[in-house]
Amino acid sequence: MKISHAVVMKAPLLGPLLILLFVASLSAAERIDKAGKIDPVLPLEVKCEGRYSHHLQGVCSDESAIYWSFTTSLVKTDRDGKVIKKVEVANHHGDLCLQDGKLYVAVNLGKFNDPKGNADSWVYVYEAKSLEEIARHEIQQVFHGAGGMGFRDGHFFVVGGLPEAFEENYVYEYDGNFNFVKRHVIPSGHTHLGIQTATYSEGRWWFGCYGTPAVLLVTNDDFEMLGRHPFNCSLGVEALADGRLLVGSGRCESGKGCDGKVRMAVPDAEKGLRILKPNE
């Protein structure tokens, strides 16, 4: 629905009832900000249409779509969750990030979390518009298997598995052409199967980990610990331009498959992240 700015600016003169009707008429991809302009922002919760053979591994988004990795399916939806395109992919596609119209997905084809390093770690690259695969990059330095990735200042950062004996996590840095730069160490203590999801926002790294309870790790630019919180973003965490984050979740049912959704969250000094509620 398209509304002229002139109509929006006059809305306060129409009375409270007409204002409520006007706001309600907007699609889920349109909201009114404090300046009275229509902005294409995400709803507080978006459910991905359909069910899939394996669970959600990660999410990312742009101004018109949300991208979901369901382990063996790569899915593109609109910002209301309606499927635009989906393709079957190799097992195991993990977390993903989006840069310059391309999707970059952390992929492990070997043994994940193997102490002897029998992983086979890659980054697969897809055109965001079509989901057509356009490149593959070996990243065999990711010793225990690539599981997630993020992007910052022209470089890619890959995370992955962590066997039981280890009390620190690792982040593998690559330049824009996937030349290996450095392995960073996070003094996090052990997290179950390492780190699954990653994103950079507002001067901090946000890492989602499995566990009971699931764990959120927060670090600074140098991967020094800023917090370890019992918060679950192990199925997806994505930075938005306004400082908010998308948090993925989902569940699997025997015989029915797996679903996925994203919810809006904001940084929280005590909880790490906090899921936004309506009217916040």
Residue 12, domain extent:
1-41
Share of the chain above pLDDT 90, in %: 84
Structure tokens at 41: 């922002």
- Other beta carbons within 10 angstroms of residue 138's beta carbon come to 12
Q: Which residue has the higher pLDDT, 35 or 246?
A: 246
Distance of CA 248 to the CA centre of its chain: 7
pLDDT at 278: 87
Please tell me whether residues 28 and 49 are part of one structural domain: no
CATH code where residue 92 lies:
2.120.10.30
Task: Compute the distance between CA of residue 107 and CA of residue 123 in angstroms, rounded to an integer.
Answer: 6
Please tell me whether residues 91 and 16 are part of one structural domain: no
Q: What is the mean pLDDT of the chain?
A: 88
pLDDT in tens, 178-209: 999 999 999 999 999 999 999 999 999 999 99
Q: Which residue has the higher pLDDT, 19 or 157?
A: 157
Please tell me whether residues 171 and 233 are part of one structural domain: yes
Share of the chain above pLDDT 70, in %: 85
Is the pLDDT at 23 greater than 70, yes or no? no
Mean pLDDT of 106-118: 97
pLDDT at 15: 39
pLDDT at 184: 98
pLDDT in tens, 127-143: 999 999 999 999 999 99
Please tell me whether residues 18 and 62 are part of one structural domain: no
Look at 7-11, 39-43, 135-139 and tell me which has the smallest mean pLDDT.
Answer: 7-11
pLDDT at 209: 98
Confidence band of 42 (pLDDT split at 50, 70, 90): confident
Residue 75: strand pairing partners: 68, 86
Exposed / middle / buried, residue 107 (Cβ in 10 Å: 0-12, 13-18, 19+): buried
Per the structure, the count of domains in the chain is 2
Please tell me whether residues 105 and 220 are part of one structural domain: yes
What does pTM read for this prediction? 0.86
Is the pLDDT at 258 greater than 70, yes or no? yes
Please tell me whether residues 5 and 54 are part of one structural domain: no
Return the ∠ at Cα 135 (arms to 70 and 186), rounded to 5°: 65
Please tell me whether residues 101 and 32 are part of one structural domain: no
pLDDT at 16: 35
Mean pLDDT of 20-43: 42
Please tell me whether residues 5 and 141 are part of one structural domain: no
Exposed / middle / buried, residue 211 (Cβ in 10 Å: 0-12, 13-18, 19+): middle
CA proximity to 147, closest of 197, 79, 87: 197
